[in-house]
Amino acid sequence: MYRTAAKRLIVGVTSGINGIHRLRLPPPSTFLDHSSFSTATNSQEFPNSQIPNQHHIRQETPTSSDSASSSSSSWSTSTSGEETRSHENRRPRVEYQEEQARVLQAALSHVVKLGWTEAAMIAGARDIGMSPSIVGSFARKEAELVEFFMDDCLQRLIDLTEAGEGLKNLILRERIYKLVRARLEMQAPFISKWAQALSIQAQPANLATSFKQRAMLVDEIWHAAGGDASDIDWYVNRTILGGIYSATEIYMLTDSSPDFQDTWTFLDNRLKDAFDIKKTVQEAKYLAEAVGAGMGNSLQGFVGKLFQR
């Protein structure tokens, strides 16, 4: 966790896209929060010291829903501390971030049928016995559902790498291949609706978060694969990896081979290319292609969604 937190700071500085008010970031899932909450409360200190703190508070809080707190001990931001304090004399309460996360989690099971939509969120809220009115409290509705999924996948990927299964004996390229594949396999169940998710991410209001989530993902993959260089290569490598990841993601959308075999071949080839050629020109071209394909496909998905109505 400390490692990701530290890197996130660097992401904020280097990406430049969203570095202004997102410099100091709490653990991943806090994008779900209302932005003004996170800006208001994150300015105090760096997450390092918050994490043990938070657990401390959490134990004090009388929990009326164990399921919520167990599934999401790291969901709440530093607001939880303050909220608890000012209301310790009142009835036991659940933090709304946790409840929203539960709604989103439940909504995921409806995504395949209903898409990344408010309808899925409403159905999710019904599933956990919560009034669907809560959907109105999400400022960016379905975008927050997609972002929740992205954060969830990132968390799962981190857990996976920390478990460190079968990565040790491989060379760098193979480790990257495994990690990218593991991450992309997480969205395989949603592949029929993934174009829609990309189009939601590409909407102007959501772009900042999407870029950041992707930067964090690439960062995590690169780090977990063991790429430790901190010179200029570090930026270049990350950029290329980002390009390859996006390109593979787009390739996967139209891949109808069993278990996405073609996609994995494509990924492997791209990684080989990158490692073999190591020509900046070539790398820049990949990136341009990937970005172009990404934008085009998102747009296509968006237009498709419009006509679908």
Of 29, 54, 61, 117, the residue at the interface with other proteins (CB under 8 A) is 117
Q: Pick from 123, 145, 184, 215 the residue near other proteins by CB under 8 A.
A: 123
Site for other proteins in 244-303 (CB under 8 A): none
Phi, psi (rounded to 5 degrees) for 55: -60, -35
Backbone angles phi, psi at 24, to 5 degrees: -105, 115
Least separation in angstroms between residue 128's CB and other proteins is 9
195 binds other proteins (CB under 8 A): no
Q: What is the rounded distance in angstroms from the CA atom of residue 190 to the CA atom of residue 219?
A: 23
Give the x/- contact pattern for other proteins in 129-168, rule: CB under 8 A: xxxxxxxxx-------------------------------
Q: How far is CA 189 from the centre of its chain?
A: 16
Q: Which of 76-84, 157-165, 230-238, 263-271 is the region at the interface with other proteins (rule: CB under 8 A)?
A: 76-84
- Whose Cβ is closer to other proteins: residue 129's or residue 164's? 129
Please identify, using beta-carbon distances, which residue of 91 and 168 lies nearer to other proteins.
91
Backbone angles phi, psi at 72, to 5 degrees: -145, 55
Cβ–Cβ < 8 Å for 178, 170:
yes
Do residues 5 and 48 make contact, with C-beta atoms less than 8 angstroms apart? yes
Least distance CB 76 / other proteins (angstroms): 12
**Interface positions, 80-99, toward other proteins (CB under 8 A):** 82-83, 85-87, 90-91, 93-96, 99
Contacting residues toward other proteins, per CB under 8 A: 34, 36-37, 40-41, 79, 82-83, 85-87, 90-91, 93-96, 99, 103, 113-114, 117-119, 122-123, 125, 129-137, 309
